[in-house]
A and B are shown apart, each in its own frame.
Chain A
């Protein structure tokens, strides 16, 4: 239902008439999102890819405009849902008494501090956009597995954020420094060194006094359920290899010269036990840029650019427990050292690298690895893709989770509702040189096939249940009242504390909590 005309007028005064729309076409279009059909089904609704239709879509251009919009929402009891690059159902309103704050006009890289290794970005800056600019300074940023097209701000403040380069760049929660945050009542809060009275700056995310980072994002972020983040500083890292490389040709058949000091290894570890040993051993040496376990099918996919291309890589697909490692260096000497260490580990563990013998990747693979584009290959087979699990724990727990999941996944494969990856489709990466690990189970389904959508949703629910009952850690998609209620009592009653945070910051439930937690146990919709 559209906004009352008098209320609309007040929003127009904030952003101008060209930056708000409450028409049928715009609001319906903004109700769509990838995988919304799965979450609808899990909520007992019709499995269609649409959320409730927002009352309006508003496009602010500054923090001050965001704050005024939020204040208007409070004034009229209208909820808001903020989105930046907007990938996934987490960006969608949970009620038709909500507007969408689309932050795409806030798309500036505010600052690059090459000396202190951080950059300040607005919400609609993509990872690719940031990476391109910081490369000029010889620097790189962390990108989540979702890919370079998504917002580093959203990942750092509001999502989970493991990525293919996590061994060397951590994950998004660990990379956030100063934050500018519009609270659910419209007040502007500045975290860390940005909140200092004098000499405020972006270099630190904590203090003075107790850190609010945990409250801001916790484990997996509040998905706009605790306000709107308008600017954030993220850590930068030295670019892993030479930034000088030649790229010719046209999309998608680029001719790419592998940059100096970059090498990929793929080994079959044979068993999960041996994989754990190999990953820990390699990560102990702190030499990897990327260190991931993937199924044979997934390794085929990261080297392929189409379904046809995927099918001629069966030699890789037959590997039992593949480990993919990329090493990079900034000098010849460092490169030689890392290769030597890697060679010693392979000898010590009697592992064979298949690169250059059984398989030689197309050079564009190296570009995609540098660009953190590999996750998007998950869409090649069926066009639809989503993950279950998402635990952050020791390698042993992650692999126990993987092993338990395989028979369950096979059950759904047998039902023909998800694509056949032999049940082995998992991705595990180390964080920060093996200090801890992440595992998820990327699964291919067909978004256009209702039985596949329903089957995928049932598999995700069963996977959540198994994680809970078998003590396999919290999946990253535990969000919304229903799942918090399910997991909270088994995990130190965290949901009670989460709700207290929501109550303190947003007692009137103006920030849409569909993917967070409501202030009241049973959320009562205000008209």
Chain B
């Protein structure tokens, strides 16, 4: 049912044109088409090889228009927006339980200049990612802190479903807290939070701290020798590029030029306007980490980096259209299996959940590990849960 042209990036540009020309009006039918998209940005990469089209931005604007007209987001998505407003997270979990993931043996430094922004999904659903990140930070003797009860949803699930007004509230809440603490660097294990802080926040409000995904942070530490990977991890592993860490994690570059008419119908940007092509996503860093893990054999899937296939979970699809999300993830699992790998890894809690659901659903023998879990294994710091997973895999 997703084969009709309007489900593509090009088709959604047509929908925007139809809406703009008044040939169609906001409706439930339109909403169903516009929201069946993970906003993975693959269309935007393809459109910018020669052209300057921005299908992803158009899709986001279409959603914004549907929210303004009272048709968006999808009912399930509205439920988690309501939960964010009420609980500061989309999972309807009590805010007080945001720290439940935190093991007692993790050392935090209230005066640290490095902040680990955990995010809702790692706090409530993919705790193993947060735990692994915190243990590795300690192992590397990094002084870091977390916001704890002062951490709120980054707003990504709200922004991607078109409610920019609510998104701005949470953007301001997070930036106010972080800036009040004199933080210099914020690190993220969640690709979605990272993308939102790095790419989307500056479109609304500038801030003066550095943002890094944890793979960038750990790769630096590995390079400087502060972290030694001593244990063999005898796995053949393939890596899935999260859209939020890959093609969508490219910042907008400020352009303050002029459009100069060269001749009738032909104009030129002076100086040339930077194109956001997806080329500056974080692609090599996670691969570098995997290649540094002793005993680990790294193999690539066919569609990678800026052309990577989406896991299927993004932009509210997992909640509103779970079958669509799962079908997409199963395709990706098939691609991962085709490499001959025994394990699949990634660096995003949404990808992690959806790909693991697809592994289970399709009866695949692949094992999924977050990239930080592989690092933990290489450091010999496996948690009980991770050990259990390794035994099951063996």
**A209 in the interface, Cβ–Cβ < 8 Å?**
no
- Complex formed: what's the CA distance from A32 to B21 in Å? 12
Of the residues A18, A104, A376, A419, contact of B1 by C-beta under 8 Å: A18
Would you list 25 pairs from A and B whose C-beta atoms are within 8 A, ordered by A residue?
A: A21-B4, A23-B29, A24-B24, A24-B29, A25-B6, A25-B27, A25-B30, A25-B33, A26-B33, A29-B15, A30-B5, A32-B17, A59-B4, A104-B3, A105-B3, A249-B279, A250-B277, A305-B50, A307-B266, A307-B268, A308-B269, A311-B262, A419-B264, A420-B263, A420-B266
Q: Give residues 1-47 of A contacting B (CB, 8 Å).
A: 18-19, 21, 23-26, 28-30, 32
Q: How many Cβ-Cβ contacts under 8 Å join chain A to chain B? A: 113
- Complex formed: what's the CA distance from A102 to B269 in Å? 38
- Complex formed: what's the CA distance from A418 to B264 in Å? 8
List B contacts of A24 (CB < 8 A): 24, 27, 29
- Complex formed: what's the CA distance from A79 to B51 in Å? 36
**Does A57 lie within 8 Å of B18, measured CB to CB?**
no
Q: A25-B27, A251-B49, A308-B268 are in contact. Are A419 and B4 (CB under 8 A)?
A: no
List A contacts of B287 (CB < 8 A): none
A307 shortest CB reach to chain B, Å: 5
A375 shortest CB reach to chain B, Å: 11
Q: Give residues 250-286 of B contacting A (CB, 8 Å).
A: 262-269, 272, 275, 277-281, 283
- Could you tell me which B residues sit within 8 Å of A by CB distance? 1, 3-6, 11, 14-15, 17-18, 21, 23-24, 27, 29-30, 33, 45-46, 48-52, 262-269, 272, 275, 277-281, 283, 305-307
Closest 5 CB pairs of A and B: A250-B279, A18-B1, A416-B264, A308-B272, A29-B6
List B contacts of A420 (CB < 8 A): 263-264, 266
Q: Give residues 99-114 of A contacting B (CB, 8 Å).
A: 102, 104-105
- Complex formed: what's the CA distance from A159 to B15 in Å? 28
**A253 in the interface, Cβ–Cβ < 8 Å?**
yes
**Does A50 lie within 8 Å of B23, measured CB to CB?**
yes
- Complex formed: what's the CA distance from A57 to B269 in Å? 40
List B contacts of A305 (CB < 8 A): 49-50
Bits for A434-476, please: 1 = Cβ < 8 Å to B, else 0. 0000000000111001001000000000000000000000000
**Does A59 lie within 8 Å of B3, measured CB to CB?**
yes
- Complex formed: what's the CA distance from A206 to B1 in Å? 39
- Complex formed: what's the CA distance from A380 to B52 in Å? 9
Q: Give residues 235-277 of A contacting B (CB, 8 Å).
A: 249-253
A458 shortest CB reach to chain B, Å: 15
Q: A249-B279, A251-B45, A252-B48 are in contact. Are A445 and B265 (CB under 8 A)?
A: yes
Of the residues B24, B262, B278, contact of A250 by C-beta under 8 Å: B278
Provide the main secondary structure of the chain A interface. Answer: loop
List A contacts of B263 (CB < 8 A): 419-420
List A contacts of B277 (CB < 8 A): 250-253
Bits for A380-399, please: 1 = Cβ < 8 Å to B, else 0. 11110000000000000000
Instruction: Name the residue on B nearest A30 (C-beta).
Output: B5
Extra contacts besides A28-B18, A420-B264, A446-B265 (18): CB < 8 Å: A19-B3, A25-B27, A26-B4, A28-B24, A29-B4, A29-B11, A30-B5, A50-B23, A57-B4, A102-B3, A105-B3, A251-B277, A251-B279, A252-B275, A306-B50, A307-B268, A379-B50, A419-B263
**Does A444 lie within 8 Å of B265, measured CB to CB?**
yes
**Does B268 lie within 8 Å of A251, measured CB to CB?**
no
**Does A250 lie within 8 Å of B29, measured CB to CB?**
no
**A495 in the interface, Cβ–Cβ < 8 Å?**
no
Q: Give residues 51-85 of A contacting B (CB, 8 Å).
A: 57, 59
List A contacts of B33 (CB < 8 A): 25-26
List B contacts of A250 (CB < 8 A): 277-281, 283, 305-306
**Does A32 lie within 8 Å of B18, measured CB to CB?**
yes
List A contacts of B265 (CB < 8 A): 381-382, 416-419, 444-446, 449, 452
List A contacts of B262 (CB < 8 A): 311
List A contacts of B51 (CB < 8 A): 379, 383
List A contacts of B5 (CB < 8 A): 29-30, 86, 102, 104
**Does A25 lie within 8 Å of B29, measured CB to CB?**
yes
**A502 in the interface, Cβ–Cβ < 8 Å?**
no
Instruction: Name the residue on A nearest B279 (C-beta).
Output: A250
- Complex formed: what's the CA distance from A458 to B262 in Å? 24
**A484 in the interface, Cβ–Cβ < 8 Å?**
no
**Does A251 lie within 8 Å of B4, measured CB to CB?**
no
- Complex formed: what's the CA distance from A417 to B264 in Å? 8
Of the residues B11, B17, B266, contact of A381 by C-beta under 8 Å: B266
**A377 in the interface, Cβ–Cβ < 8 Å?**
yes
List A contacts of B305 (CB < 8 A): 250
List A contacts of B264 (CB < 8 A): 416, 419-420
- Complex formed: what's the CA distance from A57 to B33 in Å? 15
Instruction: Name the residue on A nearest B31 (C-beta).
Output: A25
**Does B15 lie within 8 Å of A380, measured CB to CB?**
no
- Complex formed: what's the CA distance from A19 to B52 in Å? 32
Residue of B11, B23, B45 with most chain A CB atoms under a 10 A cut-off: B23
A451 shortest CB reach to chain B, Å: 10
**Does A382 lie within 8 Å of B6, measured CB to CB?**
no
B273 shortest CB reach to chain A, Å: 8
